[in-house]
Amino acid sequence: MAGAEAAAEAAPTSEEERRPGLASRAAGAAVRFAEGYMDLAQREAKRDVRRLITGVVMVLLALILTVMSGVIAQAFLVALLVEIGIKPVWTLGAVLAADLFMALVLSLIGRSMLARPLLPQSRKVLKDTMEMLIGT
């Protein structure tokens, strides 16, 4: 009977004694925080991957189209300007300038899509969390 009495005394009797302790509440909060962070990181990663793929495809298409168009346009323009009577040297210079201008514009568009940082919100949350844990 002594064992039964000790077990009855050790069992929580009031509502306050049955509540989870501070450690288990802190662990639960940490788990919820980690889950929220993972959801945020996954959403950001999806968006950033789409943006990066689109930017790379745009740059590659711009490069391909610039090369193809440049070759055809150069041949046509040189033939046309030589037919008109302009010296071939001036004709080639004008074609080169136009090609460089197109390449610059397309490169700037592609670079602007690739220039932004990856996962900015996730990195900020992670940095803030590390500062909070380390105490800096």
pLDDT in tens, 17-64: 556 677 777 777 777 877 877 888 788 888 888 888 988 999 999 989
Residue ranges per structural domain of the chain? 13-134
Radius of gyration, alpha carbons of the chain: 33
pLDDT-derived band at 95, boundaries 50, 70, 90: confident
pLDDT of residue 11: 53
Handedness of CA 10, 11, 15, 21 (dihedral sign): positive
Kindly report the CA angle at 58 between 68 and 60, in degrees rounded to 5? 50
Closest by Cα among 110, 124, 106, 107 to 51: 110
Kindly report the CA angle at 58 between 78 and 65, in degrees rounded to 5? 20
Which residues fall within 8 angstroms of residue 16, CB to CB, at 6 or more apart? none
